[in-house]
Amino acid sequence: METENTNRLRHYNIPIFMPERACPFQCIFCDQQKITSQLIPPNAEDIIQSINMHLETIPHNNSKVLIAFFGGTFTGISLKEQTEYLQLVQPYIKSGRVNGIRISTRPDYINQKNLDLLKANNVTHIELGAQSLVDKVLELSQRGHTYADVVEASKLIIENGFVLGLQMMLGLPGDHWEYALLTAGRIIELKAEETRIYPSLVIRGTALEKIMLKGNYTPMTTDDAVFQSAILYQLFQKHNVKVLRMGLYTSVDLEDDIVAGPDTRHFKEKVMTYIWKQILEQQIDKSKKTNCIDIYIAPNQLNFAVGYLATNRKLLLEVFPQVNFKTDAELTDYMCYVDYS
Ligand code: SF4
């Protein structure tokens, strides 16, 4: 279960993983069944059991809870089945224990009739797998939709009062840093309130693996994925687009099938470590002759500042004999100050 913490209200998604069902596409990077680690859709009993188990661990106060149908193309299944899934979870909304429903789908599977059905069943958040907002990249990935489709679907979703999320991928064939920036800028322009940043991984058996084996695709390095994600993360923050996740969730089953691509384990920690490395380099005067430095950080940033596997601390220890990271509750986000003693 994924959690976010915004303005002291804790956000929880209770995930219901839907494997590829009605999706007639085969995007070159996707093996949806491996990504969701199950071959058949969950039945009503599984769904109820899973929701109840999650709810037992979620506090009643100061929490916002969404049931999230992840994985497949939700609006690609029949209206009847969509209704059945959504009806199944209505008692949780009616009781007030769950605040809304999140679904993920494709941009070209959005239409007014389906949005009416989602609205009538308390769906609040719609995430579109946009992946790139550059037509050339979409075409090379065989996404089967265009940037114009994303624009049209995004407008319709917002006009109908849903929270719009646009997911993006990095490092697809034909993609590069300028296109990644362009995609992020378009996500902001389209007024998405949420996004996810997924560096491309090469999964065994996909068309992308075949293209790579023929020498026509070079996966991103981990360093490049971290660098691009760090810049985009800060850009999205500046424009109040919430980044729900960086790096694909990889189950143990899926990890065995990843044949190439950046190492996205602990990916958010790696990205935040990079952001803090830049901040510390700007803030700390390495020419000071001192035995000890104390670096003061906002409490929620402490681990990121120290760095994944303490990499930022280790870098500073190459210069100063003693390095202490301390918290100051008055500080927020990327603020810090340094005492040289
Ligand atoms: S549309 Fe989604 S589910 Fe279908 S192949 Fe593409 S990524 Fe996979």
Query: DSSP of 23-88, one letter per residue?
Result: -----TT--HHHHHT-SS---HHHHHHHHHHHHHHS-STTEEEEEEEEES-GGGS-HHHHHHHHHH
- d(CA 138, ligand 1 centre) in Å: 12
The residue whose CB lies within 8 Å of the most ligand 1 atoms, and thus the one to mutate among 25, 26, 103, is 25
Look up residue 144 and give its two tokens: 């089967």
Ligand 1 lined by 32 (C-beta under 6 Å): yes
Could you tell me which CATH class the domain 2-265 is placed in?
Answer: alpha beta
Look at residue 24 in the predicted model and tell me its pLDDT.
77
Taking the CA of residue 71 as reference, the ligand 1 atom at the shortest distance is: 3
Residue nearest ligand 1's atom 1 by CA: 25
- d(CA 71, ligand 1 centre) in Å: 9
- d(CA 35, ligand 1 centre) in Å: 10
What is the pTM for the complete model shown?
Answer: 0.92
Closest CA to 157 of 188, 112, 99: 112
Look up residue 265 and give its two tokens: 């384990």
Task: Quote the mean pLDDT of the chain.
Answer: 92
Q: How far apart are CA 19 and CA 40, in angstroms?
A: 7
Ligand 1 lined by 27 (C-beta under 6 Å): yes
- d(CA 214, ligand 1 centre) in Å: 23
Give the confidence band of 39 by pLDDT, cuts at 50, 70, 90. Answer: low
- pLDDT tens-digit series, residues 13-37: 999 987 666 567 889 998 765 555 5
- pLDDT tens-digit series, residues 255-270: 889 999 999 999 999 9
Q: Please state the rounded mean pLDDT for residues 86-90.
A: 97
Taking the CA of residue 20 as reference, the ligand 1 atom at the shortest distance is: 3
Give the confidence band of 67 by pLDDT, cuts at 50, 70, 90. Answer: very high
Q: What angle do CA 302, 224, 258 make, to 5 degrees?
A: 95
Look at residue 167 in the predicted model and tell me its pLDDT.
97
pLDDT greater than 70 at residue 131 = yes
Ligand 1 lined by 154 (C-beta under 6 Å): no
Residue boundaries of the structural domains of the chain: 2-265, 281-340
Cβ–Cβ under 8 Å, residues 86 and 118: yes
